[in-house]
């Protein structure tokens, strides 16, 4: 299932991020990222707590301009992520259901 970047809405296959980006680069998913979130400048990924994507290579360190709908969707994703906590699968399912 895809998880969209909170900032720019770029979709990423979640298992690809977790298993191939983080673990293959020597980062422990649970210890490094899940608890507090983490910034990986070398990978150009920034994660919020529970591994939600805060910034990705498409938007890392950039100021992006979103239209009103994209901005509203980003805000909805943020609110859902806060509400669902570590239920990342639930988050991705809800986003898909709501078309976020
Ligand atoms: Zn992004």
Q: pLDDT digit string (tens) for 26-57?
A: 877 667 788 889 999 999 999 998 889 999 99
**CB within 5 A of ion ligand 1: which residues?**
5, 7-8, 10, 56, 58-59
Nearest to 41 by CA among 53, 55, 20: 55
pTM: 0.83
Q: So what's the pLDDT on residue 34?
A: 81
Q: In whole angstroms, give the CA distance from residue 71 to residue 89.
A: 22
Q: In whole angstroms, give the CA distance from residue 60 to residue 2.
A: 19
Two tokens, residue 53: 């994507």
pLDDT tens for 14-32 read 888 888 888 888 877 667 7
60: helix, strand or coil: coil
User: Angle, nearest 10°, between helix axes 88-98 and 68-84?
Assistant: 150
Angle, alpha carbons 17-48-5 (nearest 5°): 55
Q: Residue 64: left (phi > 0), alpha (psi -120 to 50), or beta?
A: beta
Ligand 1 center–CA 58 separation, angstroms: 5
């Amino acid at each position: 299932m895809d998880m969209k970047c909170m900032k720019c809405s770029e979709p990423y296959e979640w298992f690809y991020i977790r298993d191939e980006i983080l673990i293959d680069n020597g980062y422990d998913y649970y210890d490094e990222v899940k608890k507090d979130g983490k910034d990986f400048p070398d990978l150009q990924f920034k994660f919020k707590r529970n591994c939600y994507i805060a910034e990705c290579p498409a938007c890392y360190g950039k100021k992006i301009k979103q239209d009103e709908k994209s901005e509203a969707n980003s805000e909805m994703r943020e609110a859902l992520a806060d509400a669902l906590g570590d239920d990342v699968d639930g988050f991705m399912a809800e986003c898909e259901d709501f078309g976020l």
